[in-house]
Structure 1
Amino acid sequence: MTESDDRVGVTAPPHDALREQAFDLKRLRAERGNKSYNAIKKRAVHLFGIEASLPPSTQSAAFNGKYVGLDKLMWLVRTLMSWDEYGDECDPPEYRDDRLTIWRTRWAAITESRTLSPSRPSKRIESADYRTKQAENGNQPLGDKEKVHQRSTEYSTVQPYPAGTLWEFSYKKTGFTQVEELVLYAELNGSTITDDHLPNEITAQALWRMWVTEYADSYHERWPDLYRPGEVHISWFVTRPTIDGIFEGAPHVRDWRTLPGVMDDFPMASVQEDSLTHYTHPVNAETKEPINWLRLRVLDLGWNSSAANKGGFIQEATGWKPSPLQPTVDVRALGAAAGLYVTPLKK
Structure 2
Amino acid sequence: MNAGGGDHTHETLELEWFLDGDHVSDDYTPDEISAEALFDRWLVQIGDVEEVPVRWRILRLGEVVPFTDDEVTEDFLSFYTWPVHAETGQKLNWLTLPVVSKGWSKLRADRGGFIQEVTGWKPSPLQRTVHMPSLLKACGWN
Q: TM-score if structure 2 supplies the norm length?
A: 0.94
CA RMSD of aligned residues (A): 1.3
How far apart are residue 272 of structure 1 and its match? Answer: 2.1
Deviations 1:106-140 (A, max 9, x none): xxxxxxxxxxxxxxxxxxxxxxxxxxxxxxxxxxx
How far apart are residue 303 of structure 1 and its match? Answer: 0.2
How far apart are residue 252 of structure 1 and its match? Answer: 1.4
Matching residue of 1:144: none
Matching residue of 1:304: 105
Matching residue of 1:191: 22
Structure 1 segments of 4 or more deviating over 2 A? none
- The counterpart of 2:69, out of the listed 245, 249, 254, is 254
How far apart are residue 216 of structure 1 and its match? Answer: 3.8
Matching residue of 2:13: 182
Q: What is the rounded CA distance, in whole Å, between the counterparts of 1:212 and 1:230 in structure 2? A: 12
**Other structure's SS at 1:308 match:** coil
Matching residue of 1:238: 58
CA contact (8 A) 1:216 1:232 kept: no
**Other structure's SS at 2:9 match:** strand
CA contact (8 A) 1:212 1:331 kept: no
Q: TM-score if structure 1 supplies the norm length?
A: 0.40
Q: What is the rounded CA distance, in whole Å, between the counterparts of 2:46 and 2:130 in structure 1? A: 12
CA contact (8 A) 2:102 2:110 kept: yes
How far apart are residue 186 of structure 1 and its match? Answer: 0.4
Matching residue of 2:46: 215
How far apart are residue 200 of structure 1 and its match? Answer: 1.1
Deviations 1:54-104 (A, max 9, x none): xxxxxxxxxxxxxxxxxxxxxxxxxxxxxxxxxxxxxxxxxxxxxxxxxxx
**Other structure's SS at 1:307 match:** coil
CA contact (8 A) 1:281 1:290 kept: yes
How far apart are residue 230 of structure 1 and its match? Answer: 2.2
The percent identity for this pair of structures is 43
Q: What is the rounded CA distance, in whole Å, between the counterparts of 1:254 and 1:172 in structure 2? A: 20
**Other structure's SS at 1:207 match:** helix
Q: What is the rounded CA distance, in whole Å, between the counterparts of 2:93 and 2:5 in structure 1? A: 25
Instruction: Tell me the amino acid that sits aligned with residue 313 of structure 1.
Output: F
Instruction: Tell me the amino acid that sits aligned with residue 208 of structure 1.
Output: F
Q: Aligned residue pairs: how many?
A: 142
**Other structure's SS at 1:290 match:** coil
How far apart are residue 174 of structure 1 and its match? Answer: 5.1
**Other structure's SS at 2:18 match:** strand
Instruction: Tell me the amino acid that sits aligned with residue 320 of structure 1.
Output: W
Map 1:8-19 onto structure 2 (within 5 A): none
Higher fraction of helix: 1
Matching residue of 2:140: 339
**Other structure's SS at 2:135 match:** helix
Instruction: Tell me the amino acid that sits aligned with residue 210 of structure 1.
Output: R
Q: What is the rounded CA distance, in whole Å, between the counterparts of 1:304 and 1:191 in structure 2? A: 16
Task: Point out where structure 1 has 5 or more consecutive residues left out of the alignment.
Answer: 1-169, 218-228, 259-270, 342-347
Matching residue of 2:94: 293
- The counterpart of 1:327, out of the listed 90, 111, 128, is 128
Q: What is the rounded CA distance, in whole Å, between the counterparts of 1:335 and 1:216 in structure 2? A: 13
Q: What is the rounded CA distance, in whole Å, between the counterparts of 2:6 and 2:50 in structure 1? A: 44
